[in-house]
C-alpha cells in the first residue's frame, strides 16, 4: 500500500448505513466518494465531514444509465484514470407489502435499484479494477437475503438475488485480484423501517384482508427498530472488508440477529413458519376474506384505472 489514500465509492450515501459508513471511512484515512440522488443531502454530508476528512460528494442515480456514465467519467477525472479501490454497493430500499397486493410498478422499482442498479454501477467501475489487478467490491445485502420475512417478500427476493450475484462475482473476480464481500445487516436503527412502512401504507386500506396483520406487524417493526443497534456495527464490517488483508466472504451483523436467523433456519420449515405466524398474528382470526369485485384488480395487484 502506498501513501496515497485508498479511494472508496459508496452508493446511497445520503442516509442510513451509507451516510454513516462514508463518515466512518473518511475518519479512517479513506478518500470517500459519497454518492446519492439528493444534491442537498450530499452537500450537508460533505459539510459535516469537514476539511480534515477527504470526502467528495457526487450525484449518482443507480437506476439512470446516463447518471452512472457521468459519475464514472467524473471518477476517472478525479483519479487520473486509475479508478477506485473499493466499491460499496449500498443503495437500496424495500416496501412492506403483501405479495398479493404489491403492484408491478413497486416490484420493478425494488429490482431496478437493488439488483439492476447495483449491476450497472459494478460494471461501470469494475474494468479499471480488473486492468489494475486489484480492488474490492462490498455488496450490502441483508439477513433477509437468507431468511424471508412476511410482507418483505419482494424486498427479500432482491437480496436473495444479490447473494447469488455476489457468490458468482467472488469466484469470477478473485483470480483477477478483486475481492468480493457481502454485508448482511439484521435490524439496524436507520430510516429503513420508517420508509418501508411509509411506502407500504397504501396497502393498509380498511378493505384489505391483511389490514389488521399489517397494523400489528408495523408496531412490531417500530419496536424492533427502537431497540436495534446504530449503523456503526455495519460501518465497522465495511471497514474490515475494505481494509483487511484477508476480507471475509460475508459479514452477518449484529450477532443477536445472526443468532436469531440461525435458530429459525435450523428448525423444520413448518415449525419456523408457525413461529412467524404466531408472532405476526397471521391467522384466520386476524385475516379477513375481502372479496374482490371483477375487474377491481389487474395483474400483480395493480388497481385497474
- Residues with active-site annotation: 155
Secondary structure letter of residue 143 according to DSSP: G
Give the C-alpha distances (Å, rounded to integers) separating 179 from 39, 41, 92.
Answer: 31, 30, 22
How do beta strands 55-59 and 31-36 pair? parallel
| Residue carrying the nine cell digits 396497502 | 203
Give the C-alpha distances (Å, rounded to integers) separating 222 from 87, 215, 227.
Answer: 31, 11, 9
Residue whose C-alpha is closest to residue 219's, from 194, 239, 238: 194
* DSSP track, 30-83: -EEEEEES-HHHHHHHHHHHTTTS-EEEEE--TT-HHHHHHHHHHHHHHTTT--
Residue 9 burial (C-beta neighbours within 10 Å; 0-12, 13-18, 19+): buried
User: Do 228 and 106 meet the contact criterion of CB atoms below 8 Å apart?
Assistant: no
Q: Give the containing element (helix H, strand E) for 280.
A: helix 269-280
Cα–Cα distance, 300 to 203 (Å, whole number): 13
Secondary structure letter of residue 113 according to DSSP: I
Amino acid at each position: 500500500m502506498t501513501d496515497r489514500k485508498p479511494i472508496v465509492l459508496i452508493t446511497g450515501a445520503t442516509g442510513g448505513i451509507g451516510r454513516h459508513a462514508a463518515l466512518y471511512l473518511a475518519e479512517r484515512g479513506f478518500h470517500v466518494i459519497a454518492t446519492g440522488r439528493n444534491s442537498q443531502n450530499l452537500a450537508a454530508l460533505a459539510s459535516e465531514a469537514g476539511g480534515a476528512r477527504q470526502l467528495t460528494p457526487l450525484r449518482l442515480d443507480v437506476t439512470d444509465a446516463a447518471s452512472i456514465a457521468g459519475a464514472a467519467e467524473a471518477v476517472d477525472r478525479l483519479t487520473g484514470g486509475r479508478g477506485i479501490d473499493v466499491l460499496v454497493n449500498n443503495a437500496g430500499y424495500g416496501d412492506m407489502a403483501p405479495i398479493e397486493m404489491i403492484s408491478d410498478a413497486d416490484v420493478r422499482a425494488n429490482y431496478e435499484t437493488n439488483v439492476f442498479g447495483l449491476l450497472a454501477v459494478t460494471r461501470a467501475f469494475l474494468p479499471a479494477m480488473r486492468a489494475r489487478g486489484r480492488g474490492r467490491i462490498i455488496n450490502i445485502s441483508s439477513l433477509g437475503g437468507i431468511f424471508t420475512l412476511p410482507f418483505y417478500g419482494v424486498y427479500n427476493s432482491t437480496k436473495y438475488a444479490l447473494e447469488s450475484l455476489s457468490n458468482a462475482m467472488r469466484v469470477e473476480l478473485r483470480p483477477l485480484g478483486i475481492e468480493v464481500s457481502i454485508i448482511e445487516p439484521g435490524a439496524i436503527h436507520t430510516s429503513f423501517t420508517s420508509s418501508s412502512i411509509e411506502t407500504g401504507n397504501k396497502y393498509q386500506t380498511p378493505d384489505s384482508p391483511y389490514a389488521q396483520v399489517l397494523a400489528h406487524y408495523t408496531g412490531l417493526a417500530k419496536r424492533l427498530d427502537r431497540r436495534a443497534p446504530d449503523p456503526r456495527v455495519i460501518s465497522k464490517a465495511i471497514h474490515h472488508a475494505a481494509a483487511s488483508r484477508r476480507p471475509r466472504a460475508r459479514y452477518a451483523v449484529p450477532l443477536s440477529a445472526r443468532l436469531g436467523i440461525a435458530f429459525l433456519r435450523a428448525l423444520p420449515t413448518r415449525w419456523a413458519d408457525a413461529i412467524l405466524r404466531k408472532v405476526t398474528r397471521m391467522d384466520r382470526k386476524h385475516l379477513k376474506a375481502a372479496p374482490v369485485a371483477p375487474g377491481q384488480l389487474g395483474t400483480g395487484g395493480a388497481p385497474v384505472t
